[in-house]
Amino acid sequence: MTTARIVSLLELGNADVIKLIDKELPPPSKGEVQLRQTAIGFNFIDVYQRSGVYPLELPTGLGHEAVGVVQELGEGVTRFKIGDRVMYINAGIGAYASARNVAVDKLVSVPDTVSDEVAAAVFFKAMTAQYLVQKTYQVKAGDVVLVHAAAGGVGQILAGWAKSLGAFVVGTVGSAAKFAAAKEAGCDAVVDYSKPTWVEEVLKATGGRKANVVYDSVAKDTFLGSLDCTAPFGMVALFGAASGPAPEISPEILNKKGCLFLTRPSVFPHNATPELLQENARAVFDAIAQGRVKVKIAAKFSLEQAADAHKAAESRKLSGAIVITP
């Protein structure tokens, strides 16, 4: 059997609850392959789950995505061969590991033009951006799009993808230090949402036009303002809670604000079947090839430094993606 190095949590809390252990990995079962993992994607949902914002049953691993090389085939596997480069985002929690058995229907092939680290840095985030710009609300030329946390991993991809589709993109950030990253990502204008006048500044940047869609992953600090930035019959897509859960509202507020649409989507239902996963993955890799999705790796950490990766993300000082290497 293979000995895998994995992250294991016996309790939820701050980053120091992250522990690394050795675990014997059995041969892959029927319909599975065993991967030697080469790059692991960090996503802010990892922080939510580790800290208990999204509680997990203990003990638990961490992580939702990784890139790896097929090392062993389980019974009946014909889609892949030993040596293939593959990745996953929805194979169950436990991607923080040096090796792992994964069901074939959770895997997609990684194109030769995309490196392991780039794939791990971008895939989950780009799959999130993909459903937001293509399915939750289909961004089109001439739209006004508001992207919160536009200097973050998902925010940069969202801003750039929306801009490439012809939208006027306003990004918000939590500090002036992140203006440059948001502008570089594709934002036409950038606003600091920590200022009490940020809503007025958004509307000033757009010449008074409200947004056709607001992509809000910040929630507590931005949600009510997001409603004020949304055009009549516009969409607010609340897809994260970086500052804490969004305030509860009466549905009647959506009427008073202009018959708004409010949704709380997630990447996992959008990729719940093998067919959807393959379709959406193709859309993401096509967007990378077309230059709609650009990758900025802000920092790399070893698996032994997983706790440091979480602390760096929580500090809000990084602009771009984090990659963990086994």
What's the pLDDT score for residue 103? 97
Q: What is the mean pLDDT of residues 249-263?
A: 97
Integer Cα distance of 271 and 284 in angstroms: 13
Taking only the tens place, the pLDDT of each residue in 87-104 is 999 899 999 999 999 999
Pick the CATH number of 141-264 from 3.40.50.720, 3.40.640.10, 1.10.540.10, 3.40.50.300: 3.40.50.720
Return the half-sphere exposure (C-beta side, CA atoms, 13 A cut-off) of residue 60.
Answer: 19
Across residues 57-72, what is the average pLDDT?
97
The pLDDT assigned to 111 comes to 95
pLDDT of residue 126: 95
User: In the chain, where does the domain assigned CATH 3.40.50.720 lie?
Assistant: 141-264
Domain 2-122+271-325 in CATH 3.90.180.10:
yes
Q: Residue type for 322, please? A: I
Q: What is the residue-wise DSSP string for 62-112?
A: --SEEEEEEEEE-TT--S--TT-EEEES-S-S--SBSEEEEEGGG-EEPPT
Quote the mean pLDDT of the chain.
95
Task: Give the side-chain half-sphere CA count within 13 A for 8.
Answer: 9
Cα–Cα distances (Å) from 243 to 92, 139, 152, 204, 253, in that order, read 25, 26, 13, 25, 22
Q: How much is the CA Rg of the chain, to the nearest whole Å?
A: 20
Whole-angstrom Cα distance, residue 261 to residue 233? 7
Residue ranges, comma separated, of all CATH 3.90.180.10 domains in the chain are: 2-122+271-325
**Overall pTM > 0.85:** yes
Tell me the average pLDDT across 223-234.
98
Q: In this predicted model, what pLDDT tens digit does every residue of 269-320 receive, in sequence order?
A: 999 999 999 999 999 999 998 999 988 888 999 999 999 999 999 887 777 7
pLDDT confidence tier of residue 249, bands split at 50, 70 and 90: very high
**Confidence (pLDDT) at 295:** 81
pLDDT at 85: 98
> What's the whole-number mean pLDDT along residues 138-157?
95
pLDDT for the residue 177: 86
